[in-house]
Amino acid sequence: TWRECFRRSFPLVAACVILGFVVTSRLFLGFAFGAAPTEAANLAMSAVFSAGLVHAALLGSRTVRGDTERGTFALLLSKPTTLEGYIAGRFIGLTLSGVAFACAVAAGTYIILLLIPVQAGHSHTGDGTRDFSFIAIACGRALLPIPVLEAATVLLSATVPGFAAPIALIVLFAAGSLAGGSMAGFVLPDFAAFGLEALARP
């Protein structure tokens, strides 16, 4: 699963697009008027989480479905491999590759934030080291939902047609982000719990 995710050129293209967005957004952080550290942390968190969502939606959603369409699923299960072992292997491989992809985007984002300073007139007057440690915490929190996204991806890849799986995952993410305080929040994953504004929540 790891090799299958990284032998394609798509992750590199996606990372370049996300980091291009970070560069563009960073150039406009000078207009944050004193809230630059918080905005930078939100920007970093959005970039890392976007990397995880893109990885899950466009790479992970083809895993199980791709095996059934290519006919390799029966071959895999003909070996001493159980269905549970196959699903667990796909989930672990997708989670590890998704975290690695998001970490690469996080490192690129961190470097961009270091290289493109916010104008002094609008930047925060506090300790810059503390600001960047805050950004590191934000990136770390953005990695936490990736296993949830990858688990949903494996489930959708096994049950939904290939073209609909990425759309279904994005709909699940949007619904889970909005349904935190409602009855649906007991069924859907509450992605809002991973945000910077929810630091006190588990």
DSSP conformation letters of 53-72 = HHHHHHTGGGHHHHHHHHTH
Q: What angle do CA 53, 170, 143 make, to 5 degrees?
A: 25
In angstroms, the Cα distances linking 3 to 14, 16, 59, 83 are 17, 20, 12, 20
Answer yes or no: are the C-beta atoms of 146 and 99 closer than 8 Å. Answer: yes
Given a contact cutoff of 8 angstroms between Cβ atoms, the answer to whether 1 and 63 are in contact is yes
51 or 31, which is more confident?
51
161 or 34, which is more confident?
161
As a whole-number percent, the residues of the chain with pLDDT over 90 amount to 2
pLDDT in tens, 70-98: 777 777 777 777 888 888 888 999 999 98
pLDDT tens figures, 174-189: 888 787 667 766 778 7
Q: With a cut of 60, say whether residue 202 has pLDDT above it.
A: no
Is-contact 60 98, C-beta < 8 A? yes
pTM of structure: 0.77
- Say how far apart CA 194 and CA 201 lie, in whole Å: 8
User: Looking at residue 123, what is its pLDDT?
Assistant: 43
What is the pLDDT at residue 96?
Answer: 92
Q: Label residue 71 exposed, middle or buried (CB < 10 Å: 0-12, 13-18, 19+).
A: exposed
DSSP letter (8 states) at residue 179: -
User: What pLDDT is recorded for position 200?
Assistant: 44
